[in-house]
């Protein structure tokens, strides 16, 4: 299989929809064909060859790989609807990175903007920097956010983290903004740092993992009791290869558990391991 490298050589002066730059799709094309791909942006457009220097290396690996060098926040929808392969973004990404991706691995070295992992369905997405609002959430008007896969943010996340999320795993190594896990339907979300106001608002089911005790608990949550040691042991085992501090938790040290949001369904839970 081959590794395709796209190095930014000139900024087009407008935001670019880069959804067509998927590893499996580009692996089947020649360098000349890749350079002719048109990237839209509203009423504007540009060819890949106008923006990127394209190169190709043959490898013994059987997985299609794409590397984007010197990436900038004007590149939107990187890895959108990605279904396989590996996409490495050296630099920062724009909005909608990993939008509705179903498979493969997307790594972003820098920051990512709003709607990262929006309605994600599978695969693994890693952001080494900070991210914007509505991470792993739903598009305005849609009823389901992320429904599968693993999303890891090493830095901070913005507002409405995992809004309407239904399935999957989201881990944030830093802080999260207001309304984190609002209207959560199911899935697991971990936050290592501080939470903004109104977290767990309208939470129906699912799990919020906290590495430190928040300043206050929502009034609609109550003590969750005991009897979840088996679940906890399985959970910490699944987190063993993820980012710290989640990978450092041990099964023998049970967290404090609270259930809610009692104003809606009341079957969600907050586990505080700090």
How do 2-8 and 65-71 pair as beta strands? parallel
Is 178 a residue whose pLDDT tops 80?
yes
The pLDDT score that the predictor gives to residue 37 is 97
| Residue 123 CB burial class (10 angstroms; 0-12, 13-18, ≥19) | buried
Buried b or exposed e, range 188-202, using 16+ CB within 10 angstroms: bbbbbeebbeebbbb
Q: Whole-angstrom Cα distance, residue 55 to residue 143?
A: 41
Is 107 a residue whose pLDDT tops 90?
yes
Q: Whole-angstrom Cα distance, residue 258 to residue 267?
A: 10
The pLDDT score that the predictor gives to residue 42 is 82
The whole-model pTM stands at 0.96
The pLDDT score that the predictor gives to residue 60 is 72
Share of the chain above pLDDT 90, in %: 93
Quick one: average pLDDT of 9-24? 95
Please provide the DSSP assignment of 105-167 as one string: EEEESS-B-TTTTTT--SSEEEESS---SSTT---TT-S---EEEEEEESS-B-TTTTTT--E
Q: Which two tokens stand for residue 42?
A: 């509203």
The pLDDT score that the predictor gives to residue 2 is 85
Tell me: the pLDDT tens digits for 25-74?
999 999 999 999 999 988 889 999 999 999 999 877 789 999 999 999 99
* Bridge partners, 268 (sequence order): 260
Is 4 a residue whose pLDDT tops 80?
yes
Confidence tier at 204 by pLDDT (50, 70, 90): very high
| CB 136, CB 183: distance < 8 Å | no
Q: Which two tokens stand for residue 103?
A: 């498979």
């Amino acid at each position: 299989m081959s590794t395709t490298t796209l190095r930014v050589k000139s900024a087009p002066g407008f935001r670019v929809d880069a959804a067509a730059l998927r590893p499996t799709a580009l692996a089947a094309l020649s360098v000349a064909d890749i350079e002719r791909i048109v990237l839209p942006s509203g009423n504007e457009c540009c060819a890949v060859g106008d923006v990127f220097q394209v190169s190709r290396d043959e490898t013994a690996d059987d997985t299609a790989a794409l590397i984007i060098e010197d990436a900038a926040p004007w590149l939107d929808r990187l890895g959108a609807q990605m279904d396989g392969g590996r996409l490495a973004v050296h630099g920062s990404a724009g909005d909608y990175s990993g939008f509705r991706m179903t498979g493969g691995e997307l790594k972003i070295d820098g920051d990512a903007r709003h709607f990262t992992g929006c309605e994600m369905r599978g695969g693994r997405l890693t952001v080494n920097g900070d991210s914007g609002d509505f991470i792993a959430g739903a598009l305005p008007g849609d009823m389901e956010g992320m429904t599968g896969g693993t999303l890891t943010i090493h830095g901070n996340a913005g507002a409405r983290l995992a809004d309407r999320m239904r399935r999957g795993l989201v881990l944030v190594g830093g802080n999260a903004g207001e309304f984190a896990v609002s209207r959560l339907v199911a899935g697991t979300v971990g936050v290592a740092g501080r939470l903004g106001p109104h977290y767990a608002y309208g939470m129906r089911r699912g799990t919020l993992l906290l590495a430190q005790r928040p300043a206050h608990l929502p009034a609609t949550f109550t003590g969750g009791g005991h009897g979840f040691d088996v679940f906890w042991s399985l959970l910490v085992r699944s987190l063993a290869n993820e980012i710290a501090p989640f990978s450092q938790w041990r099964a023998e040290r049970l967290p404090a558990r609270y259930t809610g949001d009692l104003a809606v369904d009341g079957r969600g839970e907050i586990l505080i391991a700090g």
